[in-house]
Structure formats: C-alpha cells, structure tokens
Structure 1
Amino acid sequence: MKPQLQHISARDNPKLQRLRKLAQEASAYRKLGSVWLEGDHLARAALQRGCTPSMAVITEGACHDPSLLALAEQAPLVLVVNESLFQGLSGLESPARMGFEMALPSDASLQPGMDTVVLDRLQDAGNVGTILRSAAAMGFRQIAALKGTAALWSQKVLRAGMGAHFGLRLVEGLQPADLDRLQLPLIATSSHAEAELHRVQLPSPCAWVMGHEGQGVQPELMQRCTLTVGIPQPGGEESLNVGSAASICLYESARQRLLA
C-alpha cells in the first residue's frame, strides 16, 4: 500500500511537537512509548531487524533522493518538512535528512538463561552505546540496566549504539534483586581479583556485570557475583574505561564459547 504523504509547514504541529520531545528529552520515550531514529543508518538498521516504523519524516530536499524517499516510504505515514523544521528535531551538528518514529518494544521483562550484560548505574551515554554494540557483536542478546543507568533509548545512546539496539532485548529500571530472575552466574571485573580473565574457564551462558564509571560495581551487586576476574594490563594503567573493559570481557566469553 502506498504510504500517506503529509506536507507539514507549522512548527507547532502536534506530531512534530512529540518528535521534538523524543529528540531533545533523554527519557521522553518512557512517557510517549516511542523512539525517534534520526538518519538513514538507524532507519535501515531498524528495518533489517524487522522493526516497523509508525511514521517517517523527510526533508523536501531529500525527497529528490530516490533511495532516501524509498526508505521513508517504508512507514505508513510520511511527513515532508522543510530543512528548518527538520533541524528543530535534530540533535546533530549536521542534521540528517530523514528519520523514523518507532513504537518502543513492549516486552521489557528479563529472559532467564540468556547471555546478558548488566549495567550498574553507568552514566556516560557513549559508554552505554559502546557496550550495546559489543554485546550485539559478541552474541550477548540481553541488556539488564539497573536504576540509575543512562536511558537506553536516549538519542546519545542510540547514536553510540549504531543500530545495536534492534538486535537486543533491553530491560531498564532494575534493582539488584531482580537479577535473580536471570538464573545465571554473574561475573564482575576487579583490579584486585587474583583470577585473570584469560586463565579462567568462563561459564556459558552468563551475565557480565559492568559497574559505574567512578564507583564500580555496587556492594550489593558484587555480593551476588559468583566470579570476579581481573584484566591484565601490562602497560601499567590503573584501570580501563568501562566500555573497553566490557568489549574485552565479552570477546573472551565469545572466544571460549567458539572453542568449546
């Protein structure tokens, strides 16, 4: 069916007002139940994972680009706006020329037995997005974010994730006790751990716990971990960025799994 095209010229159009909130307020998606995917990269990534957009927005100029127009027309409703109106939706220095609105995935419960990454109050959106990308790449399909972690569907995390969101099960707002539902061994890293990552037989499936950038894993959660490992750092640095540490740990899990 041919999508409906609507030319919008008023800044106070209700649809644009909603998208503006989604673009500019990190946690607006929780209230509005949808997310704003700016740019053709995120839009294509969503479609490739079988996600269905509820609406597309495209600039008048981009309508002359056959590939962008065809992408926008994957949505049942396409809003056509001038460049100035689209810029008002954008969180980028160089705004994209199209985007999707997509309903927030409805299933937000933990799946027992699924390889998981636990985010314990991570604050930096770039770190969170990096970890989501590494998790998706290494076959960890579930993210369990404890309360206090950066909003997983915020624009900054979406951009850092580069499309990883659509291949993951994302669960937010959890307490440490909620992780019991995973029915998995929890693994944490520590600079004080005697066991070195590459010398330990890692359980599979498992849940890797990544802690706050400054405080690390909170004590209540650390007590729930059945294994604590250290990452050797022959260069002598005191600690690794949590995004880097997560990538190393998830790779080692994936490597051991392939060799098993």
Structure 2
Amino acid sequence: MSRRTPIEPIASRDNPRFKRLRRLVEDAAAYRREGVVWLEGDHLLRALLGSGQTPQAVVLTPAAAPLLAELQALGLPPSVAVWWLTPALMGQLSALACPVALGALARLPDAVDLDAALPTVVLDRVQDPGNVGSILRTAAAMGFAQVVALKGSAGLWSPKVVRAGMGAHFALRLLEGVERAALGALRVPLLATSSHAGTWLHQARLPWPCAWVFGHEGQGVDAALLQQASLRVRIAQPGGQESLNVAAAAAICLHASAVARLGAATPHASGMLRRSEPPL
C-alpha cells in the first residue's frame, strides 16, 4: 500500500465527514437525499468490487490499514478516498455488538424500469429491514434477478437492509417505491402466498420464470394482489403454527421454484443437479 499522505484519523464528532456518515447510518431514508449508500464491513465492500463497481470512499480505523492492500488486489483503485476514523468514532457507526473496523460509501444506483420478463420477487409492504434483507439474499441465491418493493416497504438501500442482504444487492435489479398498478406490466405469472387458502406448495406446478409476491408481516399479501395472482399457494406446517415469518416463507417458496426449475431442466435426475451441470 502506497499513500503519500500520513494517516491522520478523524477524531472529532463535529467533523463534517463524520456527521455525514452518522446521517447515513441513523436515518433510514438519508441514502435517497445523499445519493450514497453506507456499506458496513469488508464483506459488503468485497461484494461491491466483485460486481465491478468502485466505492466513493473507504472508511476505516488505522488498525485496519493492512486490509487496503488486500482490497486493492481485488480491484480497489489506489485513488479512492480513504477516511480514517478513530476506533471510538467507528464504534458509533455500528449497531453490532462488535463494531467493524472498515466500511465504505458507494453511489446509489440509478433508478431502473421494471423488466417485465425477469424472474422477480415482489415485496408488498414488507416493513422489517431484517426480513427485507434476508429475502433479497435468498432471491439472489435462488436465481431470481429482480426485486420490486411496493410503496410501504422498507427502503431497499437503508443501512439495516443492506447489512442483512450480505451483498445480494449487487447481484439484483432493484426497484423501490413502486405502485401496485405497475405489476400489470409483468409478463411472467404472479404467484402469491396465503396462510389459509390455495394449492399446497409441495403439490403445485410452479412456472419458470415467475414473480413471487410476499406480503406485510401482519396483514399478508393485499387482497387485490391475491386476486391478481395466477397461482396462490400455502405452505404445509405440520407443527401447527398459525403462520410463518415472511422471510422464512419466502425462503421456502423461492427454493421450491429453484428446485422445480432444476427438475424441469434435468428430468432424469429427480430434481437434483448432475455433477456435470452448473448450479443456478
């Protein structure tokens, strides 16, 4: 690592750069006003670099300085600004029990239009950031390419959602604040979950590509969206609980779609991948 300037950590809470970081961390909607996303931890920065993008700035404590050379080997340009913080100030930017020593600022991606043909996940007023981030992570893992957050859902780029997504944001086409009427443009079947009605998921013939819609933690999928769906499914729960957490339900449904997709592609493998075939 070669830097011509000495390391002089920001030590004051009144520093304008630190104040900006605090806004991004504490205000879930600040990323929209600032046009910048806060990435906490080197895992998210590595995911950003892996997607071919470059951060606006790297934020770290002097103790984490050796990570810079490693990150540069992964594609971090030496010209990227580095903001050094004292451990005390870095600790104020994290809600984790063990605060990380590194973070980054990345430009908020430009808004994109709905791609009507992509395998999609629709969030209908899902409000818990942990649930939203978990669903994004599962969507990316199961081969879905687009996530559409309808109005009333948690901000997709808020710090808690980004942290829970564990890098999935950089593998997905993301739209937020979308009106329900926009879903009429989808050219893939809309599938919805219901806790009390519909076809049992394990018996359903799941189409691919498709668009799964998952609803509000307490109210479920909006009644109008349920009527719009071409298939409604429910998940068997032999244990007898009234309902599942929305992130858990999404994981089960998206995995079922992935398995059905693999089964259609490999009819003689009982739904399992052959060793010679690549994963999703």
TM-score using structure 1 length: 0.92
For 2:220 and 2:4, the matched residues in 1 are separated by 50
Q: Secondary structure at the match of 1:245?
A: helix
Q: What is aligned with 2:56?
A: 54
For 1:102 and 1:28, the matched residues in 2 are separated by 13
For 1:40 and 1:17, the matched residues in 2 are separated by 21
Q: What is aligned with 2:36?
A: 34
For 1:4 and 1:27, the matched residues in 2 are separated by 36
Which letter maps to 2:95?
Answer: G
Q: Secondary structure at the match of 1:61?
A: helix
**Residue 17 (structure 2) pairs with residue 19 (structure 1):** no
TM-score using structure 2 length: 0.86
Distance change in 2, residues 1:61/1:209 (3 Å): same
Quote how far apart the aligned CAs of 1:87 are: 2.1
Q: 1:135 aligns with which of 126, 132, 139?
A: 139
Q: What is aligned with 1:206?
A: 210
Structure 1 contact 176–220 (Cα < 8 Å) conserved: no
For 2:17 and 2:195, the matched residues in 1 are separated by 50
Count of matched residue pairs: 258
For 1:26 and 1:194, the matched residues in 2 are separated by 36
Q: What is aligned with 1:150?
A: 154
After superposition, the C-alpha distances for 1:2-52 in whole angstroms (9 at most, x for unaligned) are: 677673344323222211111111111011111010111111122112221
Which letter maps to 1:12?
Answer: D
Q: What is aligned with 2:71?
A: 71
After superposing the two structures, state which structure 1 stretch, 103-112 or 238-247, moved more. 103-112
Which letter maps to 2:82?
Answer: V
* Two-structure CA RMSD over aligned residues (Å): 2.0
For 2:211 and 2:109, the matched residues in 1 are separated by 22
Which letter maps to 2:173?
Answer: R
Q: What is aligned with 1:81?
A: 85
For 2:232 and 2:131, the matched residues in 1 are separated by 21
Quote how far apart the aligned CAs of 1:157 are: 1.2
Which letter maps to 1:151?
Answer: G
Q: What is aligned with 2:174?
A: 170
Q: Secondary structure at the match of 2:207?
A: coil
Distance change in 2, residues 1:3/1:152 (3 Å): farther
User: What percentage of aligned pairs have identical amino acids?
Assistant: 55
Unaligned runs of 5+ in 2: 265-280
Distance change in 2, residues 1:89/1:69 (3 Å): farther
Structure 1 contact 35–104 (Cα < 8 Å) conserved: yes
For 1:4 and 1:95, the matched residues in 2 are separated by 28
For 1:237 and 1:45, the matched residues in 2 are separated by 37
Distance change in 2, residues 1:116/1:2 (3 Å): farther
For 2:71 and 2:245, the matched residues in 1 are separated by 37
For 1:213 and 1:165, the matched residues in 2 are separated by 22
Q: Secondary structure at the match of 2:243?
A: coil
Structure 1 contact 211–242 (Cα < 8 Å) conserved: yes
Q: Secondary structure at the match of 1:101?
A: strand
Q: What is aligned with 1:186?
A: 190
Distance change in 2, residues 1:59/1:194 (3 Å): closer
After superposition, the C-alpha distances for 1:119-166 in whole angstroms (9 at most, x for unaligned) are: 010111111111111101000111100111111111211221111111
